[in-house]
Amino acid sequence: MSETSVNAEATAASLSIRAEVLDAEDALGKLRERFTLPDGLVYLDGNSLGALPAGVPGRVADVVSREWGELLIRSWDESGWWTAPERIGDRIAPLVGAAPGQIVVGDSTSVNVFKALVGAARLVEASAGAGRDELVVDATTFPTDGYIAASAARMTGLKVVAVEPGEVPSVLGPRTAAVLLNHADYLSGRLHDLPGLTAAVHAAGALAVWDLCHTAGALPVELDANGVDLAVGCTYKYLNGGPGSPAYLYVARRHQEAFDSPLPGWTSHAEPFAMTPDYVPAQGAVRGRVGTPDILSMLALEASLEVWEGVSIEAVRAKSLALTDFFLECVEAYVPAGRVECVTPRAHAERGSQIALRGGNAAGVMRELVARGVVGDFRHPDVLRFGFTPLYVGFADAERAARTLGHIYG
């Protein structure tokens, strides 16, 4: 055996032992038992679809067979279906640093982005009058956010100004009405400065709207403490709500009285069952509701949130950083030099809970990783994304994923 092979085996043994030690010391390690995951699978795609919480199948079965099958329409009252959007919003609130009564669950992220942007434009128009005619948008945003922003701007008479998040302070001014930003970039995993950018937006007299899809459930957000005006997020990534689970809308309490939703549905009416021809908005975050709640997905989400019982989001963040640090160390040890490039920032303050690597034949490499039991995802044209959900991903998972990647590129 060559000296190179001996050194490689020694490195692998060392990293494998370290992973075992780290997993043994991990206070969150037992949380994996709260999820249903196939044996032997390394699942690093929770930034696209979270794993199945173990309590969800039974809850959904009960909703279908008993609440729907037996109680039928009585379940709107007797099973609490009607109040689910606000009740579940209050369960999400601590995970994003919000007090109760400010989050309503329902609709898709795209619909909620639309509500938030048009609502923000109307809030600014009502308070600041004419002159603020620019909507600043993250130029690197997930495409749908950009599409929705462009449509919202056309409807409200605003002009879209698209810049990268780091350039936002330089374009803010007396014409800025609102700013839409992603807390973490979907492609690279770069974490943007929510406190600093929110403060800059407010200093310019504008409103800050944040998309939390890639951070809620992975790290502290602190919406209230940072004075965020409106925020949206999905629930099927780090919150593990299931495919297509409903998104949520946060409206800071100070804006709720004046918040004018562009989609005034019957369930957000002050008297929804009066069926009056004139719309009168309900009080509080409820006015962010639109139509009949998607009860099956809604209650599956509620059951999924039970995995957070007794879990500190700060502890989740600490483990996330440790996992991604260790994964990068393993990649550097296992993957031949020059084969991949990390496009995720190394600095903790700029890193979400994913690692994105740029490499040759990325699509083929990801297919081979999946075939070998390591599930991440591919983003065109050459990016391998690995999402680390600390509730069910361990250090041995990180080591195995990097070692497998090294075998493929070796």
Helix (H, G, I), strand (E, B) or coil at 283: coil
**Which residues share a beta bridge with 274?**
none
Q: What CA–CA distance (Å, rounded) separates 332 from 351?
A: 18
Residue 204 identity (one-letter amino acid)? A
User: In sequence order, what are the residues at sequence separation of 6 or more whose Cβ sits closer than 8 angstroms to the Cβ of residue 253?
Assistant: 99, 101, 102
Annotated catalytic residue within 43, 114, 186, 236 = 236
| CA 85/CA 104 separation, integer angstroms | 5
Give the C-alpha distances (Å, rounded to integers) separating 240 from 35, 47, 89, 308, 386. 10, 10, 15, 10, 16
Catalytic residue among 142, 392, 395, 409: 142
Q: Which of 32, 237, 319, 400 is catalytic?
A: 237
Which of 138, 144, 146, 185 is closest to 165 using CA atoms? 138
The alpha-carbon radius of gyration of the chain (Å, integer) is 23
Report how far residue 173's alpha carbon sits from residue 35's, in angstroms, rounded to the nearest whole number. Answer: 48
Token readout for 173 is 């001014």
- Please state at what angle helix 143-156 crosses helix 109-128, rounded to 10 degrees: 40
Q: Are strands 383-387 and 354-359 parallel, antiparallel or unpaired?
A: antiparallel
Exactly one of 26, 211, 294, 377 is catalytic; name it. 211
Q: Of 385, 388, 395, 403, which is the active-site residue?
A: 385
CA torsion sign for 11, 12, 16, 17 is: negative
The CA distance from 41 to 404, in Å, is: 12
**Residue 382 is a catalytic residue:** no
Can you tell me the distance from the alpha carbon of 246 to that of 243, in angstroms, rounded to the nearest whole number?
A: 9
Integer distance in angstroms from the first to the last C-alpha of the chain?
17
Known catalytic residue at 211: yes
The values of phi and psi at residue 277, to 5°, are -70, -25
Tokens of 317: 């963040």
Rounded distance, CA 386 to CA 343, Å?
12
Residue 148, SS3 per DSSP: helix
395: annotated active-site residue: no
Catalytic residues: 142, 211, 236-237, 385
